[in-house]
Structure 1
Amino acid sequence: MNIKDQVKNMDAMVSQGDIVNAVKKYFATNANTSDYENSTTNSKTEMVTKMEGFLGAISNVNGIKHHKTIVDGTNSASEFTFDFDMKDGSKIYWHEIIQREWNDQGQVIKEEYFNAN
């Protein structure tokens, strides 16, 4: 499995806002995630549920920008900026690094988010 192709394809889906389907397609069943606010998920199912809830709370996508990606073996790091208006009137502006660990079947087994501001 070519990890570089998997990363490129997943990043393209995220760039288009198709985050739930990216998780469904590229996460291993037992994948876990963590972010810089100490929020975690422990399975693909939990992450899908989390992303569906998050995306359902967005009123407007002002922009999703993919800056760059680095792939080294079975690890990748992708830099994104996310700019959203939320249904509750708040705004979200995240500039972050998404670090992923991939298995040899081309699935994400671990994903961590780092604040790039």
Structure 2
Amino acid sequence: MSKNLEQLFNEKNQMILKGQIVEASEKFYAPKTKTIDFTGTTTNSKDEHTTTMKNFVAALAKVNEISLRRSAVGDGVTFAEFVFDFDMKDGSKIYWHEILLSNWENGLIVEEQYFKG
């Protein structure tokens, strides 16, 4: 029996909350997923996005907070409001209050856009 969108979305969010950002990308993104962040930077495949996430995670010194504030599921679309607070190895700090808009097809994310909250 296949999982419904709400189950998949909840599983993805739980992985993110545990810091499993790379693993969530590998599991839930379609091969030709497109992502667009709030700076306008895009990735055009699962591989490209996963590499971006691996590089980001490798630059982390400390995770101070990953929290899910709100979430919603619609017809083929999900929304999640997260707070991310990281210390980076270069001494910088990252604090993102971020909204993730994900479009899903056949149990995988085909497009995801990130907005500042």
Give the TM-score taking structure 2 as reference length: 0.96
Question: Where does residue 12 of structure 1 map in the other structure?
Answer: 14
**AA matched with 2:47:** T
Structure 1: how far apart are the matches of 2:16 and 2:41?
Answer: 19
Query: 5 Å matches for 1:96-111?
Result: 96-103=98-105, 105-111=106-112
Query: 5 Å matches for 1:19-34?
Result: 19-34=21-36
Q: Secondary structure at the match of 1:80?
A: strand
In the alignment, structure 2 segments of 5+ residues that lack a partner are none
Structure 2: how far apart are the matches of 1:83 and 1:9?
Answer: 21
Identity of aligned residues (%): 41
Structure 1 counterpart of 2:80, from 78, 81, 96: 78
**AA matched with 2:63:** V
Structure 2: how far apart are the matches of 1:99 and 1:15?
Answer: 17
| Structure 1 residue 38, shift from structure 2 partner | 1.1
**AA matched with 1:78:** A
Q: Secondary structure at the match of 2:72?
A: strand
| Structure 1 residue 53, shift from structure 2 partner | 0.2
Which 4+ stretches in 1 moved above 3 angstroms?
Answer: none
Question: Where does residue 67 of structure 2 map in the other structure?
Answer: 65
Q: Secondary structure at the match of 1:73?
A: coil
Question: Where does residue 92 of structure 2 map in the other structure?
Answer: 90
Question: Where does residue 40 of structure 1 map in the other structure?
Answer: 42
CA RMSD of aligned residues (A): 0.6
